Amino acid sequence: MTTAAVIDHTERDPWEVALEQFDIAADKLHLDPNMRGILRECQRELIVHFPVRMADGAVKVFTGYRVQHNVSRGPGKGGIRYHPSVTLGEVKALAMWMTWKCAVVGIPYGGAKGGVVCDPKTMSNQQLETLTRRYATEIMVLIGPERDIPAPDINTNSQTMAWIMDTYSMHHGYTAPAVVTGKPLSIGGSEGRNEATARGAVYTIIEASKHLGLDLDGARVVVQGFGNAGLFSAKLMQELGASVIGVSDTGGGIVDPKGLDPAKVDAFKKEHGTVSGFMGADRITNSELLELDCDVLIPAAIENQIGEHNAPKIRARVVAEAANGPTSPEADRILFDKGIFLIPDILCNAGGVTVSYFEWVQDLQNLFWREATINARLKEVMVKSFSDVLEMSKKHKIDMRTAAYMVAVHRVAEATLTRGIYP
């Protein structure tokens, strides 16, 4: 049995959650009913079924999705996820969250997302390449540098993006680096993209700690998920002087009150496939990990991790959502009442899409920036966005998620209204 299977999920459909979060902000904004109707739907939902020849010669048919929620503020932008439990509802929710995320940090994109129902852990590199190239071809009716620009998400990485970029370029007869972001540096990727999501999250944690008067030097940090977002968050928090006391992945969690060294845990994970079993640390379940007494809890795995069932047991001072959709609306209310400061996903993890935007700009201009420039510009965006959201939350005496949604929905509604209804 995998650890994922023993997690007590809230089992809420992510799309329902996304709509509920939107409705809360729309009510507060007294949003026009016509605008509400437009923004409650995704503009385009593409479902594809395609065959892939497997290693044993058998042909397997895979299902994939690409959804664009709203593209009023610019081309669609959003990652591609490979996971056995991908559903259309999940992809729609993730696309809607991308719309709000791009708006809350003020970058000129709409929201999109993609996914393929597959288990990459059981597939060879060759099969993954074949699957990726065929999926890219199937969704080519929607993607393009001016139309919709994919990026990595769960179980996809810079190599996946390279295959998509190459497939798109082969079909068009010229090299089109700006069709995807999160590419390797050698083909138009950006410095700093790998760490961008975590770096952006950490900038928001620093801003939150200033607001709360929390000293991050020596602060106890717990990270759920030890992939791109989780590993780099742990490393960057350690660099700030914080002590990473617990981390986890699908294989389970580990805890050491004296502090773990994320680089050593990473080396262990690379060798053994999981953080579980790391010497000197105690094993712990993912549910127990979330309930550890700590200063900063960083969910950096998947959605639906903090619900009504475990929110009362969360003992963190700050919850920083590096993952998308880890907290249900019911849990939001419980955490808010407990005085826990939550940095919502659409703000907290927007560093990834912000540096993706920088990568796209660099590709279109064929002019590349140094890492120091990227990080400085990222910091500027995250600090300004955090301040916009905090101001909204103080003004209306509301939680940070509702505030972030109000900032974002207002911007998207304004763009949609200004453009008008076609024809």
Give the residue numbers annotated as catalytic, written as ranges.
113
- For helices 371-396 and 351-365, the axis angle rounded to 10 degrees is 140
Taking the complex as a whole, the smallest distance from the CB of residue 15 to ligand NAD amounts, in Å, to 15
Please give the residues from 189 up to 218 whose contact with ligand NAD meets the rule CB under 6 A. 197
Take residue 88 and report the two structure tokens written for it. Answer: 């259309």
Contact segment (CB under 6 A) with ligand NAD among 290-298, 300-308, 372-380, 386-394 equals: 300-308
What sign results for the dihedral spanned by CA atoms 331, 334, 337, 340? negative
249 interacts with ligand NAD by CB under 6 A = yes
Cα–Cα distance measured from residue 244 to residue 111, given in angstroms and rounded to the nearest whole number:
33
Residue of the chain from 190, 209, 228, 327 that contacts ligand NAD (CB under 6 A): 228
Per CB under 6 A, 132 contacts ligand NAD: no
- State in angstroms the smallest separation of the CB of 94 from ligand NAD: 7
The vertex-389 CA angle with 383 and 390, nearest 5°, equals 85
Nearer to ligand NAD, 31 or 357 (CB): 357
- Look at the block and give the residue holding tokens 């990227």: 374
Among 18, 180, 208, 229, binds ligand NAD (CB under 6 A): 229
Q: Which position among 10, 70, 99, 155 is part of the footprint of ligand NAD (CB under 6 A)?
A: 155
Smallest distance, ligand NAD to C-beta of residue 59, A? 27
| 302 is a contact residue toward ligand NAD (CB under 6 A) | yes
The residue (of 150 and 152) whose beta carbon lies closer to ligand NAD is: 152
Q: Does 166 sit near ligand NAD (CB under 6 A)?
A: no
Shortest Cβ 207–ligand NAD spacing (Å): 18
Which of 154, 245, 265, 382 is the binder for ligand NAD (CB under 6 A)? Answer: 154
Q: Is 276 in the site for ligand NAD (CB under 6 A)?
A: no
Q: Which residue is nearest to ligand NAD (CB)?
A: 227
By CB under 6 A, residue 348 contacts ligand NAD: no
Out of 158, 286, 327, 416, the residue judged to bind ligand NAD by CB under 6 A: 286
Q: Output the smallest distance, CB 421 to ligand NAD, in A.
A: 32
Question: Per CB under 6 A, which region of 102-110, 135-143, 224-232, 379-387 contacts ligand NAD?
Answer: 224-232
> How far, in whole angstroms, is CA 184 from its chain's centroid?
19
Select the residue interacting with ligand NAD from 145, 227, 259, 277 (CB under 6 A): 227
Q: What are the two backbone dihedrals, phi and then psi, of residue 328, each rounded to the nearest 5 degrees?
A: -80, 160
Task: State the minimum distance, in angstroms, from the CB of residue 230 to ligand NAD.
Answer: 6
Query: CA 224 from chain center: how many Å?
Result: 13
CB-wise, 123 or 302, nearer to ligand NAD?
302
- 61 vs 65: CA distance, rounded Å: 14
Please choose, out of 17-25, 40-48, 161-169, 221-229, the segment that lies near ligand NAD by the rule CB under 6 A: 221-229
Minimum distance from residue 398 beta carbon to ligand NAD (Å): 23
Regarding 307 and contact with ligand NAD (CB under 6 A), the answer is: no
Q: Is 352 in the site for ligand NAD (CB under 6 A)?
A: yes
Binding site for ligand NAD (CB under 6 A): 3-4, 7, 152-155, 197, 224-230, 248-250, 286, 300-302, 322-324, 349, 352
